[in-house]
Structure 1
Amino acid sequence: MIDFIQDQYDRLTGWLFEALLQPAMYQLGLMNWADEAFQWMDFFVFGVIQVIVVVAVCLPLEKWRPVERWESQRVVQTDVLYTLLARLGILPMLGFILFYAASSRIEGMIADSGFVPPTLETMIPWLREAPLVALALYIIILDFAEYWRHRLQHMFPWWWALHSIHHAQTQMTFWTDDRNHILDDIIAAAWFGIIAVVIGVPPGQFPIILLVLRLAESLSHANVRLDFGRVGERLVVSPRFHRLHHGVLSAGNSGKNYGVLLPVWDWIFGTADFRRDYYPRTGDPDAPSAYVRGGWLAQQAMGLRQVWRAITARRA
């Protein structure tokens, strides 16, 4: 099944490149950049698929049973821009250009040394014959890593200065998932990518894992009055479970419910709140006004200033 999905996706991206992008690059004399253009297009197509899936799942739910209704949704439009920038390949393309030379050099050094990093499938050989089990294990490990990255975002003042952009939204919807400072996104991408490489996630499974976790994150931010029941709430993060994390009293290092997909990590490490009848107002009362009402550029600029203040205050 995984191989079939990967094959169909490869056919789609190959056809789009040959039919649309390659002819234009040939006319402009840019064929020396063909490999880079194909990788960017791969980012773009996968981003479009992510946005379509997320909207198809989350938008009907928000229309069905919204927690809140607002006369104006101007601040939500800023979150839509965040999502388009993050998922349609514009920011990934920038990151690719910046880190392409460094990553190529590192990969070359590893190959020359002959070192082969251990992976799940080398440690547990039978996983090669059970790709769905391997996929589930990869998701569980990466979800555990994401739980701890999220907790660290709340623990370190300089990191919270960045992450608090995400928590400042008083009109939280599924678009809020991508409301992050660009530096925070870069750190998150490096964290996730390095761990995926270390545990040996196959290239064909990586997009599926990313789609599962991204869909879970978007759904958990949805403006919908929805929980998964007494048992389900302890198996999968619900919109109610994560909304408590965004409540006005959960900012900074006092938060609860950090999990992305699985609430079990919050249960194990004592950060879970399973109250099922509580849908708090969202937002950070201490956030700068630019974080709440500003546009993308204003929020990014304010984020840099807030990080600098956090670093210099700690030194003082």
Structure 2
Amino acid sequence: MDANFVRLPVFLAVFAIMALLEAWLPARQAPLNRWLRWRGNLLLLVTGALAGRLVLPATLIGVALWAQDAGIGLFHLFDVPGWVVMAVSILLLDLAIYWQHRLFHRIPWLWRLHQVHHADSHVDTTTGLRFHPFEIVVSLFIKGSVIVLLGAPVLAVVIFEVALNAFSLFNHTNIRLPQKWDDRLAYLFITQRLHRIHHSQYARETNTNFGFSVSWWDRLFNSYRSRAQQTDETLDIGQREYPPTADNASVFRLLAMPFTRAHAKHR
């Protein structure tokens, strides 16, 4: 099964819808020209995709197929109904991504990679695609290890990857829901406003709302924050060390960022 036959059309559709929504009803004004930001962010997406293919040509689907054929993984040890295996696999993969995200904030060398994502001076649809290639590679190994450990079915991996992409685009979109609807939706999902808190310049806020999709992991592990100190309209986003300039938005700067001295200490 080639996940790209499912993943790519869904990605393009969600990206188009979210980009149109934020162009029509933007929640915040970007401090930098859109072309400068989008060019760097999208070029970083391309380099990350190439790095992922280079390091893991078989993709995560190939990893799941290999584990399935070899009978490796916890689910191969028990006689469990298929629908239970599917549901639990997706749930545990999402939990793994939650903890992966927390580790990228906690461990200094991982934060250097992840800071490329947080150094964006604005949060919009393309921010959900802005990850350093080395972070993509580390994430692939983590997800691949979880897939092998569980013996997660191929279909569960496809569904999870498609959902992960879609939610990342969704919760980075530069829109604002009415507060009452935002609060209701936040009982289950990470909304755009909640995720902007995660992109705050203040560590006490950045180190909250780690979920990419559902909000219950943050509630369960005490990392949920429903309000920032500032309003959503005035929230300071990005990293102070990387002000909104054309140079800081270039793909060359983004690729070099983890290896330069001007990186923030993150506690």
Shorter-normalised TM range: 0.7 to 0.9
Partner of residue 82 from structure 1, selected from 2, 22, 44: 44
Residue 53, structure 1, aligned to residue 13, structure 2: yes
Query: Which amino acid letter does the alignment assign opposite residue 167 of structure 1?
Result: H
What's the counterpart of residue 151 of structure 2?
A: 200
What's the counterpart of residue 18 of structure 1?
A: none
Matches of residues 98-247 of structure 1 in structure 2 within 5 Å? 116-120=71-75, 122-123=77-78, 125=80, 127-128=81-82, 130=83, 133-226=84-177, 228-247=181-200
Moved more, 52-61 or 276-285: 276-285
Measure, in 1, the Cα distance between the counterparts of 2:73 and 2:29. 50
- Specify the SS of the correspondent of 2:212: coil
Query: Which amino acid letter does the alignment assign opposite residue 224 of structure 2?
Result: A
> 2:211, 2:217 within 8 Å by CA — same for their partners in 1?
yes
RMSD across aligned C-alpha pairs, in angstroms?
A: 3.4
> 2:195, 2:209 within 8 Å by CA — same for their partners in 1?
yes
- Kindly provide the CA deviation profile for residues 191-211 of structure 1, in whole angstroms up to 9, marking residues without a partner as x: 012102221221233222100
Measure, in 2, the Cα distance between the counterparts of 1:258 and 1:82. 22
Larger Rg: 1
Q: 1:204 to 1:139 in 2, by over 3 A?
A: closer
Partner of residue 267 from structure 1, selected from 191, 215, 219: 219
Structure 1 position 46, deviation (Å): 5.2
- Kindly provide the CA deviation profile for residues 170-190 of structure 1, in whole angstroms up to 9, marking residues without a partner as x: 121111122122111110111
Q: 1:274 to 1:289 in 2, by over 3 A?
A: closer
Query: Which amino acid letter does the alignment assign opposite residue 166 of structure 1?
Result: H
Q: 1:145 to 1:223 in 2, by over 3 A?
A: same
Query: Which amino acid letter does the alignment assign opposite residue 96 of structure 1?
Result: L
Residue 72, structure 1, aligned to residue 33, structure 2: yes
Paired residue total = 252
- Kindly provide the CA deviation profile for residues 65-101 of structure 1, in whole angstroms up to 9, marking residues without a partner as x: 2112347211232112223444xx533321236x99x
- Kindly provide the CA deviation profile for residues 237-276 of structure 1, in whole angstroms up to 9, marking residues without a partner as x: 111111100012137x962111111211111221111139
Measure, in 1, the Cα distance between the counterparts of 2:247 and 2:112. 14
Q: 1:275 to 1:241 in 2, by over 3 A?
A: same
- Give structure 1 stretches of 5+ with no counterpart: 1-9, 11-41, 311-316
TM-score w.r.t. length of structure 1: 0.68
- Specify the SS of the correspondent of 1:144: helix
Measure, in 2, the Cα distance between the counterparts of 1:153 and 1:189. 14
> 1:163, 1:181 within 8 Å by CA — same for their partners in 2?
yes
TM-score w.r.t. length of structure 2: 0.80
Residue 62, structure 1, aligned to residue 22, structure 2: yes
Measure, in 2, the Cα distance between the counterparts of 1:290 and 1:197. 43
Measure, in 2, the Cα distance between the counterparts of 1:140 and 1:297. 36
- Give structure 2 stretches of 5+ with no counterpart: none
Measure, in 1, the Cα distance between the counterparts of 2:25 and 2:96. 32
- Specify the SS of the correspondent of 1:123: coil
- Specify the SS of the correspondent of 1:166: helix
Measure, in 2, the Cα distance between the counterparts of 1:218 and 1:124. 37
Structure 1 position 45, deviation (Å): 4.8
- Kindly provide the CA deviation profile for residues 268-316 of structure 1, in whole angstroms up to 9, marking residues without a partner as x: 2211111399422320113488897242223212323459x99xxxxxx
| Greater fraction of residues in helix | 1
